[in-house]
A and B are shown apart, each in its own frame.
Chain A
């Protein structure tokens, strides 16, 4: 294809076809982004029942250690394996993480050992839902 000077209509059409068929991202990239997002959300969410059952004791610190190991591992895996972020998906990914983090901050202000289980479960769902929603948007066909 040569469009250096005066492209003919055929050359212009060929260039347009080439532009529309070029694809950098793979389905694997999309799957990895979704998995990491839901995984981090689940890790945040599971800390709330842990606070309810373990209080502020050793169990909580062990749980926090596991949480950071899981999140760190997921994010490292994502950075290693995702070769591209499809257009618009970065906002959903970051938004999901930010919303889950904000919901978790509310959750730890509400949940302690005396909090009723129904409240704990509601807070857990509130932390998990943003990541599930954002992951579904990442998976949506564009």
Chain B
């Protein structure tokens, strides 16, 4: 029996805010915290919380540093995160097409 595509949706990524964050990061090598916050249209605290959850899942790398005296945080997808997002998108496409995989 063929399983429905929904079973291949990633539990971590499918939450709407985390999905938006991962989608935003998928188009870049790395992005500043503020750039992701503005693109996804969420608050600092929400992004911080969700980015930490994605980091705990091994999907996002968080790098902190300074430019001059200003603290900066950079986010990027790990290879595992990219693979998970790709697989998640494939499952969504299958659902959108009404197929079972």
How many Å from the CB of A31 to the closest CB on chain B? 15
Q: How many angstroms between the C-alpha atoms of A4 and B6 in the bound complex?
A: 10
B residues near A, CB below 8 A? 6, 9, 14-16, 19-20, 23-32, 34-36, 39-40, 67-68, 89, 92-93, 95-98
**Measured CA separation A67–B26 after assembly (Å):** 36
A-B contact count (CB 8 A): 88
**A15, B19: Cβ atoms under 8 Å?**
yes
> Which listed residue (B24, B28, B31, B92) contacts A15, Cβ 8 A?
B92
Is A23 an interface residue, CB under 8 A from the partner?
yes
Q: Are B93 and A3 in contact (CB under 8 A)?
A: no
Number of interface residues of A (CB under 8 A): 30
* Beta-carbon contact of A22 and B96 below 8 Å: no
B8 vs chain A, min Cβ distance (A): 12
Flag if A85 contacts B28 (CB, 8 Å): yes
Q: Given known contacts A7-B6, A22-B23, is B30 in contact with A84 (CB within 8 Å)?
A: yes
A19 interface residue (CB < 8 Å to B): yes
Q: How far is the CA of A15 from the CA of B35 in the complex (A)?
A: 21
User: Could you tell me if B68 and A83 are in contact, using CB atoms closer than 8 angstroms?
Assistant: no
Say whether A3 contacts B39, CB under 8 Å. Answer: no
In the complex, the answer to whether B23 meets A18 with C-beta atoms within 8 Å is yes
| Residue interface mask A23-64, B partner, CB < 8 A = 1 | 111000000000000000000000000000000000000000
